[in-house]
């Protein structure tokens, strides 16, 4: 990889060791000397696709190291014209499932597969091709759906009321790349740090998930970075599950550029009353 740094690429986006043993943070390396700090291994959980948006306009090529799931986000960003493929040199890095201090990351427990959607070069080994998924991706969503409305309400009130509005979920999300965000508007009613209404956190999280609906690759970064451990992926996956059920199977970031479920329609779509008509109220 360091060979690349000697001409073909101007910089490398990768990981470096953070403050703690299991805390590896994304880093930008701009010279061969700096590359000494580069690490890749069990704790390289962060998805680097989002950092590429900033690098898109930088001079020269940028080398980015992407895990299989990160390539989905990268490809989705190309579809959205946020990234120019020619400005990047992509290394697909084999992944054995990423960890943090408490073991395998949640997003790796529900791993979507080990295929690279987009790459220039792949560095992996046999072990990294083994599946790491140990549970079904929609397990949590289905379990919640089967509860009563009051149980679901209590569950989400308990989870979302812990939100401290640090915006980490928005900032880390590779689908959230608007330069002006609705939540930064002081008149949006959800811009304040301290909630003034008991519904504000719900509004924030519903809209956050809604804005990425259809474009979310389910990379699981939102839940990984949440300092309050709110299971935000359950909101995104609910949208994914609904869209798969109602509008056909779709995975953002796979295949050629096409319209996402929320930016297209068919004349025979289900009516919104389907929500009232289906079971388990």
Partner 1 sequence: MQMVNETGWKPKIVAFCCNWCSYAGADLAGSGRLSYPADIKIIRVPCSCRVNPLFILRAFERGADGVILCGCHPGDCHYTSGNYYARRRMTMLFSMLDYLGIERGRTRVEWVSAAEGAKFSATMNDFAKTITELGENRKLGDLRCKK
Query: Which residues are CB-neighbours of 200 under 8 A, at least 6 positions away?
Result: 189, 190, 192
CB nearer to partner 1: give 133 or 144. 144
CB nearer to partner 1: give 257 or 269. 269
Binding-site ranges for partner 1 (CB under 8 A): 144-145, 149-156, 182, 188-189, 196-200, 202-203, 206-207, 209-210, 213, 235, 238-239, 242-243, 246-247, 261-263, 265-267, 269-276, 281
Can you say whether the dihedral through the CA atoms of 69, 74, 75, 76 is positive or negative? positive
Q: How far is the CB of 189 from partner 1 (least distance, A)?
A: 6
Residues 26, 51 contacting (CB under 8 angstroms): yes
Task: Say if strands 88-93 and 38-39 run parallel, antiparallel, or are unpaired.
Answer: unpaired
CB nearer to partner 1: give 29 or 156. 156
CB nearer to partner 1: give 48 or 190. 190
Element holding 15 (H helix, E strand): strand 11-17
Residue 97 exposure: Cα atoms within 13 Å on the Cβ side: 14
Q: How far is the CB of 207 from partner 1 (least distance, A)?
A: 6
CB nearer to partner 1: give 4 or 232. 232
Q: How far is the CB of 59 from partner 1 (least distance, A)?
A: 39
Q: How many CB atoms lie within 10 A of CB 50?
A: 23
What are the respective helix, strand and coil percentages of the chain, to the nearest 5?
Answer: 35, 10, 50
3-state secondary structure of 39: strand
Alpha carbon distance, N-terminus to C-terminus of the chain: 55
CB nearer to partner 1: give 32 or 207. 207
Can you tell me the distance from the alpha carbon of 52 to that of 12, in angstroms, rounded to the nearest whole number?
10
CB nearer to partner 1: give 102 or 273. 273
Q: How far is the CB of 185 from partner 1 (least distance, A)?
A: 11
Q: How far is CA 228 from each of CA 158, 164, 167, 207, rounded to the nearest angstrom?
A: 11, 8, 12, 19
3-state secondary structure of 89: strand
Q: How far is the CB of 102 from partner 1 (least distance, A)?
A: 27
Q: How far is the CB of 225 from partner 1 (least distance, A)?
A: 22
Q: How far is the CB of 61 from partner 1 (least distance, A)?
A: 38
């Amino acid at each position: 990889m360091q060979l690349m740094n000697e001409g073909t690429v101007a910089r490398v986006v990768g990981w470096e060791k953070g403050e703690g043993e299991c805390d590896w943070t994304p880093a930008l390396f701009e010279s061969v000397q700096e590359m000494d700090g580069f690490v890749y291994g069990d704790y390289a959980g962060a998805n680097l696709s989002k950092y590429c948006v900033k690098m898109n306009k930088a001079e020269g090529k940028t080398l980015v190291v992407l895990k299989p799931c990160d390539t989905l986000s990268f490809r989705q960003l190309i579809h959205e014209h946020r990234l120019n493929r020619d400005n990047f040199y992509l290394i697909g890095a084999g992944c054995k499932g990423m960890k943090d201090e408490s073991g395998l990351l949640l997003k790796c427990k529900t791993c979507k597969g080990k295929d690279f959607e987009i790459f220039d070069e792949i560095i992996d080994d046999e072990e990294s091709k083994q599946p790491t998924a140990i549970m079904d991706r929609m397990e949590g969503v289905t379990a919640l759906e089967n509860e009563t409305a009051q149980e679901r309400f209590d569950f989400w009130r308990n989870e979302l009321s812990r939100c401290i509005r640090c915006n980490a979920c928005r900032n880390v999300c590779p689908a959230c790349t608007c330069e002006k965000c609705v939540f930064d508007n002081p008149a949006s009613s959800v811009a304040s740090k301290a909630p003034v209404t008991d519904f504000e956190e719900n509004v924030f999280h519903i809209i956050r998930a809604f804005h990425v609906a259809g474009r979310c690759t389910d990379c699981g970064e939102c839940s990984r970075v949440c300092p309050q451990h709110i299971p935000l992926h359950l909101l995104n996956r609910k949208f994914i599950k609904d869209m798969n059920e109602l509008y056909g199977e779709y995975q953002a970031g796979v295949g050629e550029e096409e319209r996402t479920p929320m930016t297209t329609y068919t004349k025979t779509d289900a009516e919104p009353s389907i929500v009232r008509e289906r079971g388990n109220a």
